[in-house]
């Protein structure tokens, strides 16, 4: 069945089954308007805390709150009827089993998201296990972890040293063992992406991790050229969104100034 004719959401089991069969597509979404356009065109929609930068104008993701993530996730769920919706758990909301479970339960009770995403590897495996044991589907996130950028002094590619590769492999296995149904792998060399994808039985969704992983995720405002502050190397721009909007705006302003808008057929 094509995704466009499907009436039900894609499930976590369907995502798992795509490993070694079909590449998985994931894109961020932050509101109902765009979720409706993206819905069914990609397997998963991620309400990423990247919204704190691209839509809220902050310089990193750290100040995003659970309240904001729930608000945006509700909106995305209002627009998405087919794609699986994942809500990012923001910085500070996963610091121990109980706090993470409370945050995830709020997401599940107050929105229709089908999964939550947590940044971290082996060190949070127990927390992920606690969530999955309580009925919460989990997407992991290892490699470059944007929530750690202040601690690490920037966004750094991971896995270049042998020791980093070893620790990433440990993280990947720990996520699988803890019950995550897939994980995001961000900012690692292509060879590392390949090794990690081969080392686990769950799908690895790459961002800046090369082509030899099980799927790709992009921040939509990067992919469609709306976010212009900087363009990471791994982003492919499919549209010059900001330019298109500016051109259209110029037309609108010109028509208003010239008295061309509204015309008779646009008036009561």
By CB under 6 A, is residue 84 in contact with ligand KIV?
A: no
Nearer to ligand KIV, 28 or 111 (CB): 28
By CB under 6 A, is residue 187 in contact with ligand KIV?
A: no
Candidate segments 8-16, 41-49, 79-87, 163-171, binder of ligand KIV by CB under 6 A: 41-49
* Ramachandran assignment for 229, one of left (phi > 0), alpha (psi -120 to 50 degrees), beta (any other): alpha
Q: How far is CA 181 from CA 14, 81, 173, 209, in A?
A: 10, 20, 12, 19
Residue nearest to ligand KIV (CB): 48
Could you give the CA distance from residue 69 to residue 103 in angstroms, rounded to a whole number? Answer: 10
By CB under 6 A, is residue 88 in contact with ligand KIV?
A: yes
Omega before residue 262 within 30° of 0, cis: yes
Closest contact distance (angstroms) between CB of 9 and ligand KIV is 20
User: Could you tell me if 220 and 38 are in contact, meaning their C-beta atoms sit under 8 angstroms apart?
Assistant: yes
The number of beta carbons lying within 10 Å of the beta carbon of residue 257 is: 9
Nearer to ligand KIV, 48 or 179 (CB): 48
The number of beta carbons lying within 10 Å of the beta carbon of residue 24 is: 25
- Binds ligand KIV by CB under 6 A, chosen from 12, 25, 50, 114: 50
In total, the chain counts a number of residues equal to 268
Closest contact distance (angstroms) between CB of 109 and ligand KIV is 22
Could you give the CA distance from residue 94 to residue 88 in angstroms, rounded to a whole number? Answer: 11
Could you give the CA distance from residue 21 to residue 16 in angstroms, rounded to a whole number? Answer: 10
Is 186 labeled as catalytic in the residue annotation?
yes
- Binds ligand KIV by CB under 6 A, chosen from 184, 192, 196, 204: 184
Q: Is 74 annotated as a binding-site member?
A: no
Q: Is 117 annotated as a binding-site member?
A: yes
- Binds ligand KIV by CB under 6 A, chosen from 24, 77, 137, 219: 219
User: Could you tell me if 68 and 88 are in contact, meaning their C-beta atoms sit under 8 angstroms apart?
Assistant: no
User: Nearest to residue 145, comparing CAs of 181, 174, 118?
Assistant: 118
- Binds ligand KIV by CB under 6 A, chosen from 28, 82, 94, 216: 28
Closest contact distance (angstroms) between CB of 26 and ligand KIV is 8
Nearer to ligand KIV, 179 or 206 (CB): 206
- Binds ligand KIV by CB under 6 A, chosen from 24, 46, 136, 180: 46
Candidate segments 35-43, 48-56, 105-113, 128-136, binder of ligand KIV by CB under 6 A: 48-56
Nearer to ligand KIV, 55 or 261 (CB): 55
The number of beta carbons lying within 10 Å of the beta carbon of residue 143 is: 28
Catalytic residues: 186
Residues within the annotated binding site?
49-50, 88, 117, 119
């Amino acid at each position: 069945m094509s995704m466009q004719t499907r009436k039900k959401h894609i499930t976590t089991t369907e995502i798992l089954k795509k490993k070694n069969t079909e590449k998985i597509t994931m894109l961020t979404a932050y509101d109902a308007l765009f979720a409706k356009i993206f819905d069914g065109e990609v397997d998963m929609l991620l309400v990423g805390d990247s919204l704190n930068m691209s839509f809220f104008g902050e310089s990193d993701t750290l100040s995003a709150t659970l309240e904001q993530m729930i608000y945006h996730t509700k909106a995305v769920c209002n627009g998405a009827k087919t794609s699986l919706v994942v809500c990012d758990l923001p910085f500070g909301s996963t610091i121990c089993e109980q706090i993470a479970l409370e945050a995830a339960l709020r997401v599940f009770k107050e929105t229709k998201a089908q999964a939550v995403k947590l940044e971290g590897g082996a060190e949070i495996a127990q927390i992920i296990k606690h969530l999955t044991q309580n009925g919460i589907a989990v997407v992991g996130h290892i490699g470059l972890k944007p929530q750690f950028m202040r601690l690490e002094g920037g966004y750094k590619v991971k896995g270049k040293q042998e020791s980093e590769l070893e620790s990433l492999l440990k993280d990947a296995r720990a996520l699988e063992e803890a019950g995550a149904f897939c994980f995001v792998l961000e900012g690692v060399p292509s060879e590392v992406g390949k090794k990690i994808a081969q080392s686990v039985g769950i799908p690895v969704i790459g961002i800046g991790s090369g082509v030899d992983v099980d799927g790709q995720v992009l921040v939509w405002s990067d992919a469609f050229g709306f976010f212009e502050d900087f363009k990471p190397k791994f982003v492919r721009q499919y549209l010059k969104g900001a330019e298109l909007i500016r051109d259209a705006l110029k037309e609108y302003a010109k028509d208003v100034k010239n008295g061309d808008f509204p015309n008779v057929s646009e008036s009561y």
